[in-house]
């Protein structure tokens, strides 16, 4: 990657009148602001629709876009809404938090109105889009069925033929108007994002996207392609049910127990973020089946992501080397085990398909096992460095800026970390003092926040001085905001992914300071 600086800010966190950031004028204005600061990169989180806990990493599809990001104003310009519709879509109850419960209902109603106003030409384009994109076809059928069965998980639907993805049953879904509506929504998202991305690129800003390693169990991906995942056998179902009955003697298994669907789930062992590890629960890929298909599903997924982003960060990249597999029914991730992933065999197919790996970033955080170190050296992708992990006084950590090799992407912190100011307040005294000394901060006001926070600026400057080709800071650190603006706390189920910023927040940033920082350190 070209030497340069950038900012991490999800689309949902942009300012604007609609209760969540959208693909509109605010996104383009932010790109122009980044350009004025001398930045080269804007990193976003997955553009997928949020699922469990409002997480964009737990979506109903690895391909589908988040229709909450569609800008009502742009729909009005297309003749799909009128001015009154746009005004009614405004939601300014709290401009610093996203209210997903409200938006899920309100935006769907708005989009159904837009759909009712679509002309024959647009609908014909939607139909062609559905015919030529299997993922869109599966998403539209899946969403139509979810609506039919009151949003229950696909294995709980009242039609066994639909559960089993029988051709005759799914073909009936394609005849429903609701199927076309969900295709219409995805078509709009792709069109709107393509245009906004073009304008962002014209500002000289490249977009770094984020692709989750795993997919949600209740997703169009698993429903339509369960042969690619490790599904529970009848023997496993009986064993887990037997254990559940032992542990719950006062409950009626016929009423209170539901059979497992997957043989195992994804997670990570105990680490910096969680002493019990993290039990994500996502289904595990059957890599033997993927290999037999030439990793066709993955190549299609990557191809679609390359249409969305200039550069792609693959979350939990280490799972290509080995992954933490937790047996079905486990209460925590502690009972998991390491299992080999596809390793370089996958990337040999990737190279044949896409030519080179220059558009990829490997998220390699967490426990570095010996096999992972060898694999990362072989795959030769930019790896991630996090300053907040660096300052154990007794360790010459690879996260210290003087140890950064050029081929890496370095951060003050990511969406999973505390903000820089929040970290300073919560770090133990030895680590905080080590950080402040390392970054040449002098004085006693290290806890002061704001856009001109001297401690935050000292740390950011130190990051910019490093040899890392690419350096990224969350917008929260630009603003010098505390832990109350943290995006996500790993291992917690609620209250995450909701942070937003106002127009006034963005206007308060000292653009000149960052422009000089980028000039001075040749970024």
Catalytic residue positions, numbered: 315, 363, 416
Question: Which residues 6+ apart lie within 8 Å of 402 measured at CB?
Answer: 466
**Residue 269: how many CB atoms within 10 A of its CB?**
19
> Which is nearest to 341 in space by CA: 355, 357, 359, 362?
362
With H, G, I as helix, E, B as strand and everything else as coil, classify residue 175.
coil
DSSP string, 405-417: -SSEEEES--TTS
Here the tokens at position 327 are: 């047996």
* DSSP summary character for residue 118: -
Count of CA atoms in the C-beta half-sphere (13 A) of 181: 17
Give the 3-state secondary structure percentages of the chain, helix then strand then coil, rounded to 5.
50, 10, 40
Characterize 446-457 residue by residue with b for buried, 16 or more Cβ atoms within 10 angstroms of its Cβ, and e for exposed. beebeeebebbb
Cα→Cα distances 257→163, 219, 231, 265, Å: 19, 22, 18, 18
Cα 234 versus chain centre, distance: 34
Question: Three-class SS string for 326-383?
Answer: EECCCCCHHHCEEEECCCHHHHHHHHHHHCCCCCEEECCCCCCCHHHHHHHHHHCCCE
**Residue 104: how many CB atoms within 10 A of its CB?**
14
How far apart CA 494 and CA 501 sit, in angstroms, is 20
């Amino acid at each position: 990657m070209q030497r340069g600086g950038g900012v991490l800010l999800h689309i949902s966190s942009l300012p604007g009148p609609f209760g969540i950031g959208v693909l509109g004028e605010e996104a383009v204005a932010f790109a122009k602001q980044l350009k004025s600061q001398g930045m080269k990169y804007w990193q976003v989180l997955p553009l997928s629709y949020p699922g469990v806990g409002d997480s964009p990493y737990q979506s109903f599809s690895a391909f589908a876009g988040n229709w909450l990001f569609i800008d009502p104003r742009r729909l009005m310009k297309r003749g799909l809404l009128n001015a009154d519709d746009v005004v009614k879509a405004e939601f300014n109850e709290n401009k610093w938090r996203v209210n997903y419960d409200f938006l899920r209902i309100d935006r769907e109603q708005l989009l159904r109105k837009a759909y009712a106003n679509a002309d024959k030409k647009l609908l014909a384009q939607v139909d062609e889009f559905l015919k030529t994109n299997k993922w869109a076809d599966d998403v539209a059928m899946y969403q139509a069925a979810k609506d039919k069965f009151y949003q229950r998980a696909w294995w709980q639907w009242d039609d066994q033929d639909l559960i089993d993805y029988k051709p005759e049953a799914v073909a009936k879904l394609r005849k429903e108007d609701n199927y076309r509506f969900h295709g219409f929504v995805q078509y709009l998202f792709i069109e709107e994002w393509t245009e906004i991305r073009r304008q962002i690129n014209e500002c000289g800003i490249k977009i770094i996207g984020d692709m989750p390693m795993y997919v949600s169990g209740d997703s169009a991906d698993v429903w339509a392609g369960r042969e690619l995942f490790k599904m529970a056998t009848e023997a496993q179902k009986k064993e887990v049910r037997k254990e559940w009955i032992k542990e719950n003697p006062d409950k009626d298994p016929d009423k209170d127990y539901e059979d497992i669907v997957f043989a195992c789930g994804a997670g990570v062992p105990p680490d910096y973020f969680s002493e019990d590890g993290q039990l994500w629960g996502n289904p595990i890929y059957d890599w033997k089946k993927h290999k037999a298909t030439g990793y066709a599903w993955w190549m299609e997924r990557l191809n679609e992501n390359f249409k969305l982003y200039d550069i792609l960060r693959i979350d939990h990249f280490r799972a290509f080397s080995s992954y933490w597999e937790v047996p079905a029914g486990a209460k925590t991730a502690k009972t998991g085990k390491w299992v080999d992933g596809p390793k370089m065999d996958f990337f040999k197919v990737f190279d044949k398909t896409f030519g080179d790996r220059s558009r990829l970033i490997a998220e390699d955080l967490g426990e570095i096992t010996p096999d992972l170190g060898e694999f990362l050296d072989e795959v030769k992708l930019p790896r991630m460095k996090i300053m907040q992990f660096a300052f154990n006084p007794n360790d010459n950590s690879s996260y210290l800026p003087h140890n950064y090799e050029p081929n890496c992407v370095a951060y003050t912190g990511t969406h999973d970390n505390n903000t820089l100011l929040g970290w300073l307040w919560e770090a133990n005294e030895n680590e905080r003092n080590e950080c402040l000394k390392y970054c040449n901060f002098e004085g006693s006001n290290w806890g002061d926040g704001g856009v001109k926070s001297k401690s935050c600026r000292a740390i950011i400057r130190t990051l910019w001085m490093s040899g890392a080709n690419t350096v990224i800071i969350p917008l929260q650190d630009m603003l010098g905001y505390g832990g109350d603006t943290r995006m996500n706390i790993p291992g917690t189920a609620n209250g995450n992914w909701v942070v937003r910023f106002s127009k006034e927040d963005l206007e308060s940033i000292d653009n000149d300071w960052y422009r000089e920082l980028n000039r001075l350190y040749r970024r």
